[in-house]
Amino acid sequence: MTTPLRSIDRIAGSSTAEALSRRSFVSAAAVGGAAAGLMVHSSLAAAEESRELRLALVGCGGRGSGAINDSLTINQGVKLVAAADLYESRCATMRRAISEAHPGKVDIDDSRMYSGLDGFKRVLDDPTVDVVLITTSPGFRPRYVRAAVEAGKHVFAEKPACVDPAGYRICLEAHDAAVAKGTAIVGGTQYRRQANYIGAVEQIRQGAIGDVIGATSRYCSSGIWYRPRQEDMSDAEYQMNNWMHFIWLSGDQIAEQAVHNLDTMNWVMGGNPLSAFGSGGRFTRPADSEMWDSVSVDYEYPGNRIVSFECRQIPGAASENSNVVYGSKGTCFIGSMSSGSRIVDRDGKQTWDMAGSIADAYKQEHKDLIDSIRVGKPIVELRQMADSSMVAVLGRMAAYTGQRVTWDFATKESKLDLFPENLTWESSLPKPQHAIPGKTKLI
């Protein structure tokens, strides 16, 4: 099968996927209480296993197309039956490619392809849709996930979960509502399901590097796309299309991209940081881009442990995507993408290593979601992804304002709510804002 929509380096081999599946069920249990029940085989579960699950995709761009491809590849008894995007043409392109890749698993007639800002609501109104994959730009995520939970749908939500404290609080509400309703929410932090990440965290927990003293984490790359404004576009349409460059939509690179690293740091450290102190700036972005080129943050975790973090998108500058955890007895390197993990002792001698495939992990999140629904023990892990996303927001708030910002202030007191009121396709929006440390207010 070809994967025309996303560069996936390998298709999951079933033995790797099954092994990882067993492991990730264990990790899912720790966060969502799912695992124990997955082994239970009641007659209800057997009946549920045979029922076809009907999927809808909201946000038919690069990752949305990749995510639905992953789900249809790894799962049996599932069908894609509806799609929504700002643009009907993107629904149609996705439908064509996915139908070719998965004949028999796609049944979207034209009346179930929705465009514009209301498309999402029409997906939720469809009582035959069981699972909604929400892969729009991040700014919509908290409200869309909450609405999907209210509508009784199971959810796959891409990262980041939120781009501001207001969105974080909505995610926590949605998490609790899903637990109460018995519906699933699985997040797109795929490294939580990748063998070499799971293995490294297990090694660290078992003391392989001694006491964890601190860490460095970097997501430095060479640049990102920019979609220029077309003549007939309103402010709203332009910003929603060129979403990466507007903070209410992307959260800046620290939330949009580097949340993977911060999620890994939270996982290793076993919780959220206490505070953040950071800086950065913008030098190469297009004039109306609100994004910074680079952000560096020191996060203080309980036990006086510092995570020194940096993200950067500057053409020509060196790329590095790494997580390094320092312990009293050794150092653990948790390699991003499919580069594997390893541990060295204080003399530099390698004592452990493990390979891992990001392509497998991308599929595993969809297998875990569907399996958990089928056995009646839905995984709910939004809080974990919301926490990691909020760590990114915390770092951005510290860097933009030039202040030390505490987790308690950001999560409990901050009034920052970036989502525009009464957003419509034709909305006029404020001119792009460029944060200036010392002038940008901490709110």
Ligand X SMILES: NC(=O)c1ccc[n+]([C@@H]2O[C@H](COP(=O)([O-])OP(=O)(O)OC[C@H]3O[C@@H](n4cnc5c(N)ncnc54)[C@H](O)[C@@H]3O)[C@@H](O)[C@H]2O)c1
Question: Which one, 234 or 406, has the nearer CB to ligand X?
Answer: 234
Q: Contact between 437 and ligand X (CB under 6 A)?
A: no
Show contacts with ligand X in window 149-178 (CB under 6 A): 158-159
Q: Stretches 85-93, 196-204, 209-217, 391-399: which one binds ligand X (CB under 6 A)?
A: 85-93
* Helix (H) / strand (E) containing 240: helix 235-241
Q: Contact between 59 and ligand X (CB under 6 A)?
A: yes
Show contacts with ligand X in window 9-48 (CB under 6 A): none
- How many residues can be counted in the chain? 443
* Helix (H) / strand (E) containing 44: helix 43-50
Q: Which two tokens stand for residue 264?
A: 């890994």
Torsion-angle region of 251 (φ positive above 0: left; ψ -120 to 50: alpha; else: beta): left
* Helix (H) / strand (E) containing 219: strand 212-221
Question: Which one, 83 or 106, has the nearer CB to ligand X?
Answer: 83
CB count within 10 Å of CB 13 equals: 12
Which of 28, 80, 84, 370 forms a contact with ligand X (CB under 6 A)? 84
Least Cβ distance, residue 374 to ligand X (angstroms): 23
Question: Which one, 61 or 395, has the nearer CB to ligand X?
Answer: 61
Q: Stretches 11-19, 53-61, 280-288, 401-409: which one binds ligand X (CB under 6 A)?
A: 53-61
Beta bridge partners of 341: 334, 354
Which of 64, 165, 199, 378 forms a contact with ligand X (CB under 6 A)? 64
Q: Stretches 54-62, 171-179, 193-201, 215-223: which one binds ligand X (CB under 6 A)?
A: 54-62
Least Cβ distance, residue 267 to ligand X (angstroms): 15
The secondary structure of residue 252, as a DSSP letter, is -
DSSP line for 265-308: HHHHHTS--SEEEEEEE-SSS-TT----SEEEEEEEETTTEEEE
Which of 5, 20, 83, 85 forms a contact with ligand X (CB under 6 A)? 85
Q: Contact between 321 and ligand X (CB under 6 A)?
A: no
Closest residue by beta carbon to ligand X? 61
Question: Which one, 117 or 177, has the nearer CB to ligand X?
Answer: 117
Which of 17, 27, 83, 90 forms a contact with ligand X (CB under 6 A)? 90
- Residues 36, 41, 44, CA angle at the centre, nearest 5°? 115
Nearest to 287 by CA among 222, 226, 221, 220: 226
Q: Stretches 44-52, 103-111, 112-120, 396-404: which one binds ligand X (CB under 6 A)?
A: 112-120
Q: Contact between 62 and ligand X (CB under 6 A)?
A: yes
Which of 24, 71, 73, 135 forms a contact with ligand X (CB under 6 A)? 135
Beta bridge partners of 113: 83
Nearest to 420 by CA among 289, 246, 286: 246
C-alpha distances in Å from residue 424, one per residue of 86, 120, 427: 12, 14, 5
Number of residues lying near ligand X (CB under 6 A): 26
CA 367 to chain centre: 16
Question: Which one, 68 or 209, has the nearer CB to ligand X?
Answer: 68
Q: Contact between 142 and ligand X (CB under 6 A)?
A: no
Residue 132 CA neighbour count, 13 Å, CB half: 30
Which of 256, 293, 371, 387 forms a contact with ligand X (CB under 6 A)? 256
Q: Stretches 84-92, 121-129, 317-325, 339-347: which one binds ligand X (CB under 6 A)?
A: 84-92
The secondary structure of residue 192, as a DSSP letter, is G
Sequence-separated (6 or more) residues with CB below 8 Å from residue 219? 253, 257, 258, 260, 261, 310, 311, 312, 321, 336
Q: Contact between 58 and ligand X (CB under 6 A)?
A: yes
Q: Contact between 187 and ligand X (CB under 6 A)?
A: no
Q: Contact between 136 and ligand X (CB under 6 A)?
A: yes
C-alpha distances in Å from residue 61, one per residue of 5, 14, 91, 109, 167: 9, 27, 8, 19, 22
Nearest to 430 by CA among 219, 227, 288, 220: 288
Contact characters 402-421, ligand X, x per CB under 6 A? --------------------
Q: Which two tokens stand for residue 62?
A: 């690069």
Q: Contact between 63 and ligand X (CB under 6 A)?
A: yes
Q: Stretches 86-94, 193-201, 322-330, 400-408: which one binds ligand X (CB under 6 A)?
A: 86-94
C-alpha distances in Å from residue 373, one per residue of 107, 173, 311: 21, 21, 36
Least Cβ distance, residue 26 to ligand X (angstroms): 21
Q: Which residues of the shown chain bind ligand X in the complex (CB under 6 A)?
A: 58-64, 84-87, 90, 117, 119-120, 135-138, 140, 158-159, 188, 190, 240, 256
